[in-house]
Amino acid sequence: MAGSETHYTLPLPAFDKPVKVLIVVAPYYKDIADNMVAGAIATLDEAGATHEIIEVPGALEVPTAIRIAYRQANFDGFVAIGCVIRGETTHYDTVCNDSSRAIQLLGLEGACIGNGILTVENRKQAEVRADPADQNKGGGAAAAALHLIALTRKFAAPKGGIGFKPAGSEMLIAGDAKGPSRA
């Protein structure tokens, strides 16, 4: 049972420049979503990040909203919040698979997304996972987004040259009439 397992949680990254995160919420199960948002906000606040929140009708719209913001706004990262509880039809499988796949594809494009869309068998599982005092999956999704933002910033740092010299900085060769080598 997952409840009895212990897990390692990475410490939150530190940032030297401001971080702005968009929380995209599907409040179909409003109480569950509200708990997850509370956990996400607490984690973002702890890291010193600012945030905005938007709501969309359901879990399938979360990735689309993130894609729009990723292309047209200036957010460093995104937190996807929602809950899908298994029902009597295969709609559950479609929503779970398609929302997760779309979020993954956006991540592979470079969007820093923490996926907090719960996919559970029943309401009790959702309540435990959403509760900031219990599993705090909203906080975990925010932390995931922050870690991806930190990683993106780390690898986006200016790199050294790749062997080419800028015009006007020709290398002098030893014995050259211009003087000793400055290589």
* Residue whose token pair is 């906000």: 41
171, burial (CB in 10 Å: exposed 0-12, middle 13-18, buried 19+): exposed
- Told to judge if 7 belongs to the known catalytic residues of this protein, a careful annotator would answer no
Residues in Cβ contact with 108 at an 8 Å cutoff, skipping those fewer than 6 apart: none
The residues facing 22 across adjacent strands are 52, 78
Residues in Cβ contact with 117 at an 8 Å cutoff, skipping those fewer than 6 apart: 26, 59, 62, 80, 81, 82, 83, 84, 96, 99, 100, 103
**Residue among 1, 29, 22 at smallest CA distance from 135:** 1
Catalytic positions, written as ranges: 91
